Amino acid sequence: MSVLVRIPTPLQKLVGDQAEVNVEAASLREAVQQLASQNEEFKTRLLDDSGELRRFVNVYVNEEDVRFLQKLDTPLKSGDEVSIVPAIAGGR
Amino acid sequence: MSALISAPPTAQNGGHTLNGGAKRPSRLKGLQCRECGQTSEIAPKHVCEMCFGPLEVQYDYDVIAQTISREKIERGPRSIWRYQDLLPVEGTPQVDLGAGFTPLIKCNNLAKKLGIKSLYIKNDTANPTWSFKDRVVSTALSRAVEFGFDTAACASTGNLANSVSAHAARAGMKCYVFIPSDLEIGKIIGSLIYKPNLMAVKGNYDEVNRLCAEVADRTDWAFVNVNVRPFYSEGSKTLAYEVAEQLGWQAPDHVVIPIASGSMLTKIHKGFNELMKLGLIEQRDFRVSGAQAQGCSPVAQAFEDGHDFVKPVKPSTIAKSLAIGNPADGIYALDTMRSTGGNAAMVSDEEVVEGIKLLAETEGIFTETAGGVTIGVLKKLAESGKIKPDETTVAYITGIGLKTPEAIADHVGAPLQIAPNLASFEAALGRKL
């Protein structure tokens, strides 16, 4: 199940300076696991001590925020696009 | 960085040179992550590389204390720039339409209605593009010009789009503005008139925001509320400085502030605290309360539920300028309200309309829906005793009603139609003149 993952600038150097990476994964957790296989730091930057997504990281599968889906357990299918986006933006 | 005019300055080279070549220490120490404390030099970036937390400008208050005084501020321009010592812009501000120094109005009529003694409205509809956004935009783009950017951009619920478009026009910057496509017509025309590249995105604000985070990652544009956000958000502190100065150099007892991302609320709190730290106002406790609309109340809901996290929601409210379902500073706003003994409350769309009308009918101020939220919550807090009758309270009204007439068009009645003669007028009046 090939899935495209968009990597934000702060994490690109941990995946060989790439902005987009294709992974084989059936869930978001598996995708993170795979991306961390090159460099374990990828996981520690993205996940907190309890293994959940850090609160200032938003992850979208296609157009949907995974917090409205099944968070790290969100299933992935071939052709899905995953975007990792820093949460800090916008403001009033 | 092809779109940059020159290389971004750093904290190291950004200091001023004194006569004789000695360097005055910079007021600006650098950027610091609010989550993990990691520090880095002053640069156009907003996210901590270690934990994705928000970056905040760090000041050297010892350096600032050497030059700042009430008298110096009072001699300054009647705009946010009288407080430049506490803003992250080093040289003469380059992008300025005269934002700030808006009226603080004692509101006896409304106070009486609400059963409180001392109420003030900070009327930020009196800004160049009629919302508080001019404060943050003037700050962000002045800093952006110092960084060397030639293109301004933003994600916006409307007011920010207007302000960025106007300031970019004034500064001769290229401009890209992204808004949800369902915005009120007043806010769309209020941007288009300044000729930005206006992108109406088929989605809600959170989706626009996400798109802009991705665009900002791929362009050399100064996205005021993305990559320049640490500088942008500091502009909101002037809402505290001005209130303190206008109250005769003191903090009020209680402030009521609308919450969208939560940034403004936390920065107003920071602003009063900075003035205390510098000895410009007396040290004292003050309470910070937040206002949200029921259709988008992730922060107020977390407050009510006693949670220390903010669960994102999908917004559905007429208060579109507050419709941020995933507020970036939500947890900090929550912390601020709790630590100061403040409150959070939410109001229905009907109460928003009532709030707009109440402020207009009692004090002659026509606010947009966000202001309706603030007045609705102010009323709720006063009626439930959460604003004590003897507290000096300031409510922040951050945008003008003329941009969102559709929200109240069906609730203000209609003019009496008469013929151009006395008889017709007297008939309408119901008596002889």
For residues B265 and B195, membership in a common domain is answered with: no
Helices (H), A13-84: 28-35, 41-46
A4-31 pLDDT tens trace: 999 988 899 999 999 999 999 999 999 9
Question: Under a CB-based contact definition with an 8 Å cutoff, are residues B155 and B204 in contact?
Answer: no
Q: How far B419 CA lies from chain A's nearest CA (Å)?
A: 47
For residues B341 and B294, membership in a common domain is answered with: yes
Q: Which residues of B touch A6 (CB under 8 A)?
A: 214
CATH number of domain containing B393: 3.40.50.1100
Q: Which residues of B touch A60 (CB under 8 A)?
A: 210
Instruction: Order the strands of the B254-258 sheet from edge to edge.
Output: B104-106, B118-123, B392-397, B254-258, B287-293, B344-347
| Per CATH, domain A2-86 is 3.90.480.20 | no
Assess if residue B89 is contained within a domain: no
For residues B269 and B332, membership in a common domain is answered with: yes
Kindly list the averaged pLDDT for each block of 10 residues, start to end, along chain B of length 433.
38 39 77 93 92 93 97 98 98 96 98 97 98 98 98 96 98 97 94 98 90 92 95 98 98 97 96 98 98 96 91 89 89 97 97 98 97 98 96 98 95 96 96 95
Predicted model pTM: 0.90
Where is B71: in which H helix or E strand? helix B70-74
For residues B266 and B362, membership in a common domain is answered with: yes
Tell me the DSSP string of B319-346: -GGG--SS-TTHHHHHHHHHHTT--EEE
Out of B53, B209, B312, the one facing A56 most closely (by C-beta) is B53
Out of B35, B328, B331, the one facing A90 most closely (by C-beta) is B328
B20-71 pLDDT tens trace: 445 667 999 999 999 889 999 999 999 998 888 899 999 999 999 999 999 9
Residues of A with CB under 8 A from a CB of B: 6, 8-10, 45, 54-58, 60, 63, 65, 67-68, 83, 85-92
Residue B277 sits in which domain range? Answer: 104-127+233-406
- In sequence order, what are the beta bridge partners of B178? B155, B199
Out of B50, B217, B311, the one facing A45 most closely (by C-beta) is B50
* Strand-strand pairing, A20-24 and A2-6: antiparallel
